[in-house]
Chain A
Amino acid sequence: MLKKHELVFILSFLTPTLALFGIFTLYPYFNGLKMSFYEWSGFSDVTTFVGLDNFKRMLDDDIIPMTLKHNLYIMLAVPIFSFIFALFNAVAISQFKLKESKWYRALLFVPYVLPVTITAILWQNMLGGDYGLVTSILGWFGIHLDYPLLGNPDTALWALCVPMIWSVVGFYMVLYLTAINNIDESLMEAASIDGASQWDKVRYITIPLIWETIRVTLVLFILGAFNYSFALPWIMTDGGPARSTEFIATYMYRVAQNDHEYGYATAIGVFIFIIATGLSLLSQILTRKSKLD
């Protein structure tokens, strides 16, 4: 049982944290949920309760399924490439024990700590019009583009995946590398003696033994597909051209900022919350080890 002076001490240390966390982190989530049942222009004090109208409106909004399709594309493309690169690098660094490994780790991690705005502008220039480096490199291979990659509705979405992958490969690589370094080395040696190929070792030893780390990164991949699909497209393409890079999050912000329909915007936010959290939970349920064995 706590003594009175202990209780005073605990409260004096906890109250400021709880107040700040409650007001600036928890309250917005609950208020967002509440606002999704209201209609509000942001200018007056008049908020009107509209029940589920905002959610019904989403069903008739043609832009929502379009943005969800874009989100789905990047939720598949970005994790698949990030995972392949990150795991390849991690296995390569741990297996081959290259003397410059430290440098690869240090350099490949850099994009993860860069401000997202820098990444966006850098890649806007790299992928950009007449002088973009990527355009030049494609030119060496005989591929001549009529439009810049980011300015063409057919390619803009895929071009956006490049900076998204670029910024996270190093991060996931370090996560996998840490997990791989915890694997008992004698396992790998035994497998080599038995004549297992490099691929067999990855498939039957590395992946199963770092499975828990891979599961966690699944959640990060899913949340990332929603969180990272805001700032990069917002800065690099502004959702264009012809809405080909409009995502659910950029659309949500557009509804709030341009149309001042805060009720509808938060309803879209609640929808994002539900699918992102739902998919994260689903990924954890589907990948439970007992189910796979």
Chain B
Amino acid sequence: MGSANHFLGRWIVRLILAVQAVAVVYPLLWTIYSSFKTRTDFYRNPWLLPSRIEFSNYYNALIKSKFFESFFNSIYVSVLSVALIIILSSTTAFILTRYKFFGASFIHKIMMLSLFLPSVFALIPTFLLMMELNLLNKLSGLVLVYAAGGLPMSIFILAGFFKHLDTSFEESALLDGSSATNTYWKIIFPIAMPGIVVIGILNIISVWNEYPLAMAILSSPEKKTVAVNIVDLSTIQRFATDWGALFAGLVIAMLPVLIIYFIFQNKLIAGLTAGATKG
């Protein structure tokens, strides 16, 4: 192994990694700058930068294609389902790590097992359940489905977190006569904040991105989430050939995810990969 060899290897490796990075970044950049192009500009050469910046695409996407409404639907669904997930998974993870009782390990096991099931099977049965409960085409139905779906992974991550938490604070609070419920919300929950943030971000992203269930459950245009609406927009623009509005819609749909990703990158990657391997 000569050093020249090593030097060459280093640059070959670099080249291969850089090509992959370009393959990731270029389609995203192309989408962003194409969203500022006029139709004729786009047809003249779809790969060049815009000759002048055109904002009307954003107006068309937001107003004409109801992106405003679907954006708020997505925020509504994300906030409510993630709030539910945080409350329910943190309390459950706490109980499962602190108390030994009949059925505790069974509950834990069945939740973990559900992480390794082919979720696509649940698509039609969940649709039928929504029909039974009169929750079809309702955002509240989607909130409940997402909340339930996010629980196992979140409980798993938080249980790992609670296991390593110092118990001396809660013990002294309990000795001072604070009720278990109070102790949890006033002392333990705040200490668990770093773990809560991780599951919060993980779930916001997965709820924001979810497509099959939202597509199956929501039918009227004003109820749709961003992930569903962008597909409708894509189909419409393909025939109307208004590419600018489609690219503007894509930018609106992916921007929140990209912003969250680049702010919380390390936490997010750690959470996503920890959840996958240690189950």
B-contacting residues of A (Cβ < 8 Å)?
2, 5-6, 9-10, 12-14, 16-18, 20-21, 23-29, 31-32, 35, 42, 85, 88-89, 92-93, 96, 98, 103-118, 120-126, 131, 133, 136, 166, 169-171, 174-175, 178, 192, 195, 197-198, 213, 216, 219-220, 223, 226-227, 230-231, 234-235, 249, 252-253, 256-257, 262, 265-266, 269-270, 272-273, 276-277, 280
Return the chain B residue nearest A224 by Cβ. Answer: B118
Residues of B within 8 A of A31 (CB): 125, 128-129
Asked if residues B47 and A133 are in contact (CB atoms below 8 Å), the reply is yes
Which B residues fall within an 8 A CB radius of A?
1, 9-10, 13-14, 16-17, 20-21, 23-28, 30-31, 46-47, 84, 88-89, 91-92, 94-95, 99, 101, 107, 110-111, 114, 116-129, 131, 144-145, 147-149, 151-152, 155, 179-181, 184, 205, 208-209, 211-212, 216, 226-228, 230-231, 234, 246, 250, 253-254, 257-258, 261-262, 265, 268-269, 272-273, 276-277
CA gap between A83 and B273 in the complex, in Å: 16
Q: In the bound complex, do residue B268 and residue A276 qualify as a contact, i.e. CB atoms below 8 Å apart? A: no
User: Are the CB atoms of B24 and A219 closer together than 8 Å?
Assistant: no
Beta-carbon contact of A18 and B107 below 8 Å: yes
Interface residue from A88, A112, A118 paired with B16 (Cβ < 8 Å): A88
Q: Which residues of chain A have C-beta atoms less than 8 A from B253's C-beta? A: 115, 117-118
Residues A265 and B107 in contact, CB atoms below 8 Å apart: no
Point out which of B120, B179, B216, B269 has the most chain A C-beta atoms below 10 A from its C-beta.
Answer: B120
In the complex, chain A residues whose CB is within 8 Å of the CB of B228: 117
CB within 8 Å for A92 and B13 given contacts A13-B91, A122-B27, A273-B118 = yes
A227-B210 Cα distance, complex, nearest whole Å: 12
Instruction: Give CA–CA (A197, B21) in the complex, Å.
Output: 27
Q: Are A256 and B127 in contact (CB under 8 A)?
A: yes
B203 to chain A, nearest CB (A): 12
Q: Which residue of A lies closest to B243 (CB)?
A: A125
- Asked whether, in the complex, the Cβ of A266 is within 8 Å of the Cβ of B257, the reply is no
B247 to chain A, nearest CB (A): 9
B178 to chain A, nearest CB (A): 12
In the complex, are the beta carbons of A192 and B1 less than 8 A apart?
yes
A25–B114 alpha-carbon span in the complex (Å): 8
Q: Which residues from B are CB-within-8-Å of A21?
A: 111, 114, 148, 151-152
- Is the Cβ of A175 less than 8 Å from the Cβ of B148? no
Q: Contact at B116–A24, with CB atoms within 8 Å?
A: no
Tell me if A's interface is mostly helix, strand, loop or mixed.
helix
Given A6-B99, A9-B180, A18-B107, A29 contacting B122 (CB threshold 8 A): yes
**CA gap between A273 and B116 in the complex, in Å:** 11
Interchain CB contact (< 8 A) of A13 among B92, B127, B216, B272: B92
Bound form: Cα–Cα A160–B261 in Å: 25
Closest to B30 in A: A133
For residue B120, which residues in chain A have a CB less than 8 angstroms away from its CB? Answer: 226-227, 230, 249, 252, 269, 272
| A/B interface sample: 18 pairs, CB < 8 A | A6-B180, A13-B94, A20-B84, A21-B148, A24-B126, A31-B125, A96-B9, A98-B17, A109-B265, A109-B269, A115-B208, A115-B209, A117-B253, A121-B231, A121-B250, A122-B250, A174-B273, A280-B116
A111 neighbours in B (Cβ, 8 Å): 24
Nearest 5 interchain pairs by C-beta: A24-B148, A32-B125, A28-B125, A276-B118, A115-B209
Inside 8 A of A25's CB, which chain B residues have their CB?
114, 122, 148-149, 151-152
